[in-house]
Amino acid sequence: MANIMSYASLGFPTSMRGVSIGFNQAVLRLGSTLTLFFFPILSTGLGTHVYWVILAAPVLGLIALLSKRWEPIGFDADAEERTRSRTAAVTA
């Protein structure tokens, strides 16, 4: 959970950071709730094969991360916001 919050804080500008962290928390909690609800159903239906489903979740996450290749270190999330505010100040 700590990694999700650090990615959200590194990846969004200050004006959007609170909303992004809140959205990430909501998705995290929704996933936990759905897992708590659906795991017994999957376990009953699939038996011991349910562990393949459990294995697929992090593998799909790894595939998504490797396809995106986003590195937040060295990325200035506030740069676009500063550029926008300078442009607005010049045009005003």
| pTM of the full structure | 0.61
Give the position of tokens 């995106």.
Answer: 68
pLDDT in tens for each of the 92 residues of the chain? 556 667 777 778 888 888 888 888 898 899 889 988 888 888 888 888 888 888 888 898 889 878 887 776 777 777 777 787 777 777 76
Output the pLDDT for position 4: 61
pLDDT of residue 81: 78
Nearest to 42 by CA among 70, 6, 89, 34: 34
Q: pLDDT value at position 30?
A: 93
C-alpha to C-alpha distance for 27 and 16, rounded to whole angstroms: 17
3-state secondary structure of 75: coil
Could you tell me which of 58, 60, 40, 62 has the C-alpha nearest to residue 50? 40
